[in-house]
Amino acid sequence: MQTPLIMAVEPDPRQAAQLSALFRRQFQAELVLAGSTAAAMAQLHGRIPELVLTSALIQPRDEVELIAWLRGLGAKGSHVQTVTIPTLANGAPQEASRGGGGLFGREKPAPSAPDSCDPAVFADWISIYLDLASTHREEASHA
């Protein structure tokens, strides 16, 4: 069985670093990670990935380019799974307050964090999508 190829478009450097670390720890897969669709496709060197991950905040031009590329693959790309990358939790606990009581003894509440996904949960979903891609590719090769 060949090593799965995954293309990820993530312009946020923090998210990209977390994604890269997650793949190093959890998967026997080749990750092509770039900040734009064009840069990611250039790194593929004509290969077709099993999975395409895209940022929730992908630029419209990147989205258009990605859709056109996927459609252009035709039957060769029918196995490709696409997934939106959630905001990954970084695991750092948030401060409950700024401490010191502040002016007049009032504590300042910690800023609210956006909803985020546990990287382990995201890894489980990636495994499912990779299995789906493998199954679809296998079925297509027998057809």
Q: Does residue 75 form part of some domain?
A: yes
CA distance 26 to 123: 7
- Beta 30-34 vs 51-55: how paired, if at all? unpaired
Q: Does residue 95 form part of some domain?
A: no
Q: What is the pLDDT of residue 112?
A: 46
CA distance 42 to 5: 14
> What residue ranges in the chain does DSSP mark as E strands?
5-9, 30-34, 51-55, 81-85
Q: What is the pLDDT of residue 104?
A: 54
Q: Does residue 102 form part of some domain?
A: no
Q: What is the pLDDT of residue 93?
A: 43
Q: What is the pLDDT of residue 36?
A: 94
Q: What is the CATH number of the domain that holds 22?
A: 3.40.50.2300
Number of structural domains in the chain = 1
pLDDT tens per residue, range 54-65 = 998 888 999 999
Q: What is the pLDDT of residue 94?
A: 43
Using CA of residue 49, residue 79, residue 56, residue 119, what is the dihedral sign? negative
List CB contacts of 1: < 8 A, sequence separation 6 or more: 134
Q: What is the pLDDT of residue 107?
A: 56
Q: Does residue 110 form part of some domain?
A: no
Which residues of the chain have a pLDDT value below 50? 92-100, 109-112
Q: Does residue 18 form part of some domain?
A: yes
**Domain that residue 59 falls in:** 5-89+115-142
Q: What is the pLDDT of residue 124?
A: 94
Q: Does residue 96 form part of some domain?
A: no
CB distance 30 to 64 below 8 Å: no
Q: Does residue 108 form part of some domain?
A: no
